[in-house]
Amino acid sequence: MDGRRPLRCAVIGAGMAGILSAIKLTEAGLADLTVYEKNDQVGGTWSENTYPGLSCDLPSDLYSYSFALTPEWSHPFSPGPEIRAYFERVAREHDVLSRVRFGDPVTQCRFADGRWHLTAASGHRDEVDVVIAATGVLHHPRYPEIVGLDTFEGPMFHSSRWDHGVRLDDARVGIIGTGSTAVQMVSALVDRVASLSLFQRTAQWIMPQENPAYPEERREELRTHPERLSKMRQELSDLFDHFSNAVVDADSAGIKMIEQACVANLEESVRDPELRERLRPAYRAACKRLVISPDFYAAIQRPNAELVTEAIERIEPGGVRTVDGSLHELDVLILATGFKADAFMRPMEIAGRNGATLEQAWNPRPEAYLSISIPDFPNFFMVNGPNGPVGNFSLIEVAELQVHYILQLIERLRGGECTEISARRDALADFERAREQAARNTIWVTGCRSWYLDDRGIPAVWPWSFVRFRQEMAAPDPRAFEYA
Ligand SMILES: Cc1cc2nc3c(=O)[nH]c(=O)nc-3n(C[C@H](O)[C@H](O)[C@H](O)COP(=O)(O)OP(=O)(O)OC[C@H]3O[C@@H](n4cnc5c(N)ncnc54)[C@H](O)[C@@H]3O)c2cc1C
């Protein structure tokens, strides 16, 4: 006993951020902890998404926990199953698995008498001092609103709900959507299927990036010299700092270099001028999340691949009817239509101080101070919450910084300085004002539609450099919080 107040904690979600939170809470001596996970395994994104071609679009040496670097990655950008296995291994080795309550989503969190009262779908109840919501961003599938969608006769599923029972070999496959997921799937599927039709509403800029398998000698060398891993991670992190500086300044030299690389990739890789123009976006590179691929252009030029740019009129039992009257006959239809990125921990019902509900607090849109804390929701902290850094950064680095920040707030509770801590209303308002102002200079507002943009067209993301994010996360500003 060290004289500090004992606290019971709940972590909601056992994806990358939930595993991290559980490890760090335990290391800090906060071992009275339950992790709630609605799925029956850990890994979140990387256990739910099992589509062919899934891989990280960040270097794996960066997309790793800083405290669990590994020499074992097979590729510079490793495949999804390897990433899932990595999270599972880290969770096992850090004894997180034994703390997870699987298969039971939390449906309600209510703050009363200084504690959070949790209810899960099974009826299980818990009472905790601190909640960390690590419920993910790209988690709730978004289904397209297309007339006749449910009339399709063949198998049809969302990319994050892959039906492995469906045979794709020699089938006529349609994919709706052109984000990173669709691009990865096209490359992985085109040589397996009879025909592949990609229904494109918006063309994407593609950043070329080779991804050859690492030779065994590299792994062997890093096993012998593990100290080199952290140096490599640091170098990659510095490189991505340049990227973050580029995207938050639409006039920067960095963004122009990215644009040139994408334009050259299109010009040099697509032979047919008509197809090239249909693949050419009408907005600037990196305005939408940059898609990275070594071979998408090669794949879409295969004889059995078809890029459909006519708008979809409706789905029919036999396929997709486009507005030019053509019926694209299909056996299987895959919806690579993304996620409801503004749902966060909803549909959980959350009520803070004096019964204030999350729905009220987030009307008209989600907001949180530094994306971590909501006024009147004391001792409730989010990892990868609203308006934080997303884009082509490592969300692991983001989450590590956020958890470090959250632990400092929890330390105040533990030290007895206060029993309740949450962001001040004026701190949130100032933060949001500055964020909206800064967002006007970013590449994300240069003329495209993307999931980054909120209902006003303002990017719902961190609009400053990553260096600034690191500085903000170093230590909470005590004046930004209210205490009870
Ligand atoms: C296809 C795809 C590819 C991606 N590629 C990259 C990439 O290359 N690089 C990158 O940085 N990021 C990438 N991302 C983003 C990715 O989501 C994050 O990197 C990271 O995995 C997020 O981890 P998380 O723990 O915050 O959320 P998630 O992985 O979404 O985990 C959230 C967990 O919370 C659980 N949960 C939610 N609500 C409840 C509830 N009420 N009760 C109990 N449990 C609940 C969910 O079941 C889930 O397991 C990708 C995302 C997708 C979808």
Going from the Cα of 384 to the center of ligand 1, the distance in angstroms, rounded, reads 9
Q: What is the pLDDT of residues 409-468, one digit of tens each?
A: 999 999 999 999 999 999 999 999 999 999 999 999 999 999 899 999 999 999 999 999
From ligand 1's centre to the CA of 137, what distance in Å? 6
For residues 229 and 65, the answer to whether their CB atoms sit within 8 Å is no
Nearest-CA residue for atom 12 of ligand 1: 395
- Name which residue sits closest to atom 38 of ligand 1, judged by CA: 135
Q: Helices marked H in 3-79 — which ranges?
A: 16-27, 45-48
Closest C-alpha to 336, from 469, 156, 216: 156
57 Cα nearest atom in ligand 1: 8
83 CA → ligand 1 middle, Å: 12
Alpha-carbon span 142 to 261, nearest angstrom: 31
pLDDT, average across residues 365-386: 97
The two three-digit tokens of residue 51, written as one number: 């589509």
- CB neighbourhood size of 393 (10 A): 23
Residue 242 pLDDT: 87
Is the preceding omega at residue 366 within 30 degrees of 0, hence cis? no
Compute the distance from residue 262 Cα to the ligand 1 centre, in Å: 28
Three-state DSSP state, 355: helix
For ligand 1, atom 33: residue with the closest CA: 13
* Dihedral angle sign, alpha carbons of residues 255, 256, 262, 266: positive
Does the structure show a pLDDT above 90 at 248? no
Beta pairing partners, 117: 110, 127
| Interval 24-28 mean pLDDT | 98
State the distance from the centre of ligand 1 to the C-alpha of 216, rounded, in angstroms. 30
**Pocket-testing residue among 394, 395, 406, ligand 1, by greatest number of atoms within 8 A of Cβ:** 395
Q: What is the mean predicted confidence (pLDDT) over 264-273?
A: 98
Q: Which atom of ligand 1 is nearest to the CA of 383?
A: 26
Report pLDDT digits (tens) over 166-200: 999 999 999 999 999 999 999 999 999 999 999 99
Residue 99, pLDDT > 90, answer: yes
* Residue among 138, 181, 390, 396 to mutate when testing ligand 1 (max atoms within 8 A of CB): 138
CA of 416 to the centre of ligand 1 (A): 34
Query: What six digits make up the tokens of 124?
Result: 């299980």
Label residue 1 by pLDDT band (50, 70, 90): low
Ligand 1, residue 77: give the atom nearest the CA.
Answer: 8
CA 135 / ligand 1 centre spacing (Å): 7
Phi-psi region of 103 (alpha: psi -120 to 50; beta: other; left: phi over 0): left
413: which DSSP letter?
A: H
The pTM (predicted TM-score) of the whole model is 0.97
Q: In this predicted structure, what is the pLDDT of residue 390? A: 76
H-assigned helices in 104-210: 180-189
Q: What percent of the chain has pLDDT over 70?
A: 99
Query: Does 2 score more than 80 pLDDT?
Result: no
pLDDT tens, residue by residue, 274-331: 999 999 999 999 999 999 999 999 999 999 999 999 999 999 999 999 999 999 999 9
| Residue nearest (by alpha carbon) to ligand 1 atom 5 | 56
Query: What's the CA-to-centroid distance between 342 and ligand 1, angstroms?
Result: 13
The residue whose C-alpha atom lies closest to atom 6 belonging to ligand 1 is: 56
Residue 245 — very low, low, confident or very high, per pLDDT cuts 50/70/90? confident
Question: If you take atom 16 of ligand 1, which residue's CA is the nearest one?
Answer: 45
Instruction: Pick the atom of ligand 1 nearest to 39's CA.
Output: 47
CB-based pocket (< 6 A), ligand 1: 12-18, 36-39, 44-45, 49, 56-58, 63, 105-106, 134-139, 181, 348, 384, 394-395
362-381: average pLDDT:
97
**Residue 138 Cα to ligand 1 middle (Å):** 6
Distance linking the first and last C-alpha atoms of the chain: 24
Query: Ligand 1 atom 26: the closest Cα is on which residue?
Result: 136
Pocket test for ligand 1, best of 101, 125, 135, 293 (most atoms within 8 A of CB): 135
Q: Which residues contact 341 (CB under 8 A, 6 or more apart)?
A: 137, 138, 451, 460
Residue closest by Cα to atom 50 of ligand 1 = 45
Question: What is the rounded average pLDDT for all residues in the chain?
Answer: 96
CA of 47 to the centre of ligand 1 (A): 9
Answer whether 204's CB lies under 8 Å from 291's CB.
yes
Give how far the C-alpha of residue 472 lies from the chain's centroid of Cα atoms, to the nearest Å: 21
For the CA of 107, the closest atom of ligand 1 is: 41
Strand, coil or helix: 306: strand
